A and B are shown apart, each in its own frame.
Chain A
């Protein structure tokens, strides 16, 4: 349901585009919300509608941290490496999660369940160190606690079914 609305939002935005300035970033944001990342065809659509060359659209995409050109896993783990988390042991946490998932920062696990990112600050500095799994924030973490959370999610993902097609759903 939610996905349909988001898709509708993207096409609606494209259709409604009237040549107003400054619409490129909102269009990209809604494309990413719809597809989970920005696929090649979205760049084509946007370029076609706005008359901004594909190369320039690509330039804007790569400038901002928010935009992804690769599909993401079912669950997105964002590890905060802001200053407060850094002094509270975020490095150890990052190492632990990398070890647990067997992927580097920015990567997606082979089964398509997890994507791992680090972010500069989630703004929950008094709960440092913090990890955000999808929309849920976990604070005051230890390496053991982080492993536990990830293992529980992995178990749940296995029980449910083979994971959904990567990148088709919501972020």
Chain B
């Protein structure tokens, strides 16, 4: 049976996939697809967020994916393609025939990728256990239960070279062996799905697109370390991910993959979902445990490490969503197949969330060691609006900005930390010449300052002092010794904070000072923002081509600095202007700009 599949991940839904799904359902019910008919199905994110909503037609072993499908396009696809057998080539973003020939306008986006974690995302229906099984799902679990010993599983994971995908890159096999070595009987497997880094959405897509892969990885981990209970700690901001996880858990229980005596092996394992309540620090494992226990999510001192005393003071293994999603593939295909990808010390692949000023924003999974330029220009298709590439921000509030001249840096656990940024969980924000780096540093510090749990003095107060200095600089009130103050505060905060949040909080500032010192000094010495971003350091101008003379800006101006008559060009008087920005926000024609 041919299938017509609508991409219903969060990004697809916010682009209007639900309407498209409904339109197609109505058309199919009316028999508009012709005598052959078609089955309507859903899938999740394929990673091409920039062309959502996506609709795929799958027949005769081939796939044809249409992009930017609104209800009227959906109507055409049903009528012309399904009924008439005519492919509408100009809307095709990606196509693949039975012989493996690929085509479509966005084929480059997928060509450079190697999809292991995302193997099923955008391919199978995430709400169907049967489709996951048909794609080879739960084969690894059978292998782990009946063909391998717990030690054998750990040895295999070790041999694959898999390292924690949450950001720190601790070898997964080793972590498991620590938890396995500690005596039970009660141990826990925890999956960290508290993806709080603003600008990263890999875990969300995996949970929405392939929830069973994460469950399977966790059950295998439970078998390896001798645990019979797991928690998934998921952000409450991801309602769709939680819904699909719940469906997946119920289905897995029904089929005997979860619960008592899994598949008759004698091994028990069950999983419970805990919803986070919105605290960035809960991504730190000891804070996460505190939150599951119902406390304020504050980190604890380590050691004792979680492998010894974790959740409820019991031995616990905690990994990221992406790490668990790798496990089934590794067991089925073997450690050497996984280790064949990537670099010597960073094996396998990594999923990145490309966003910001990049033409093709979305999810991309590439072998470790792919360079930043390959990601930004090869997969991302270059910078939006033909502007100049300035740098990428990696690792979110714990990471830093890597300037464009280091674009040839391979992305792996060895080379990225050398730049001062961190691998992080995979958020990669591309920035162009209109982004002010001082402002970016201020932005991240504002975030960490707000999210600091307040336990450690240096993190609680030090970040606030740093934020005040950065705000001063962006207002044009910076002094030369501010740079030295920022550096010494950074060193102290790194030294005197208990958890990863504080220890890495100064990174965005340090990389800005390291690579963009010129821009910073320009703010301090000349009171100018080269990127024309900081509101108080620019002049406001009105574009004669766009101004209609509606007088709205002049009426909203707090200091009567805008002159002009009705239906005539308006002009800003720099002497009177207090740079409040009201003119920009009030103009309905986008005629006011910063210069």
Contacts and interface: CB of A to CB of B under 8 A. Distances in A.
A6 interface: no
B590 A83 contact: no
Contacts of A65: 277-279
B362 A120 contact: no
Interface of B: 10-11, 13-15, 49-50, 52, 195-201, 204, 236-238, 274-280, 291-297, 312, 353-357, 361-362, 393, 396, 427, 429, 431, 435, 440, 443-444, 447, 453, 581-582, 584-590
For the complex of A and B, 7 pairs with smallest distance between CB atoms? A126-B361, A65-B278, A82-B198, A137-B14, A125-B355, A83-B199, A64-B277
A60 B289 CA distance: 14
Interface string A14-38: 0000000111111011000000000
A1 interface: no
Given A29-B275, A63-B453, A119-B237, A24 B294 contact: yes
A122 B587 CA distance: 27
Question: Which of A82, A119, A139 lies at the interface centre, i.e. has the most chain B CB atoms within 10 A of its CB?
Answer: A82
B275 A84 contact: no
Interface of A: 21-26, 28-29, 59-60, 63-67, 81-84, 86-88, 92, 95-96, 99, 119-128, 130, 137-139, 142-144, 147
Contacts of B393: 83
Nearest to B277: A64
Contacts of B278: 64-66
Contacts of B453: 63
Given A21-B294, A143-B584, A87 B198 contact: no
A57 B348 CA distance: 44
B50 A126 contact: yes
A171 to B, nearest CB: 11
A59 B296 CA distance: 7
Q: Which of A28, A82, A84, A123 has its CB near the most chain B CB atoms (within 10 A)?
A: A123
Given A65-B277, A87-B435, A125-B199, 15 more contacts: A22-B292, A25-B291, A29-B275, A65-B279, A66-B276, A66-B277, A84-B429, A86-B198, A121-B198, A121-B237, A123-B204, A125-B361, A126-B362, A127-B15, A143-B590
A88 B356 contact: yes
A144 B584 CA distance: 10
A80 to B, nearest CB: 8
Nearest to B353: A125
A124 B198 contact: no
A107 to B, nearest CB: 17
A83 B297 contact: no
A63 B296 contact: yes
Contact of A83 (B198, B292, B294): B198
A139 B429 contact: no
A83 B11 contact: no
B293 A144 contact: no
B134 to A, nearest CB: 28
B585 A126 contact: no
Given A21-B293, A66-B236, A87 B277 contact: no
A139 to B, nearest CB: 6
Contacts of B279: 63-65
A29 B277 contact: yes
Contacts of B49: 124-127
Nearest to A99: B585
A6 B393 CA distance: 42
19 contacts: A25-B275, A25-B277, A26-B274, A63-B296, A64-B279, A64-B297, A83-B198, A84-B429, A87-B435, A92-B584, A95-B585, A99-B585, A120-B280, A121-B200, A125-B49, A125-B355, A127-B14, A137-B13, A139-B14
A25 B585 contact: no
A167 to B, nearest CB: 19
Given A22-B292, A23-B294, A84 B199 contact: yes
Contacts of A24: 294-295
A90 B52 CA distance: 21
B296 A83 contact: no
B429 A83 contact: yes
A23 B277 CA distance: 13
Contacts of B200: 121
B577 to A, nearest CB: 16
Nearest to B14: A137
B429 A124 contact: no
B14 A130 contact: yes
A143 B279 CA distance: 29
Contacts of B429: 83-84, 87, 125
A86 B238 CA distance: 20
A140 to B, nearest CB: 9
Most buried by A among B13, B312, B427, B585: B585
Nearest to B535: A91
Contact of A99 (B201, B295, B582): B582
Contacts of A67: 277
Contacts of B396: 83
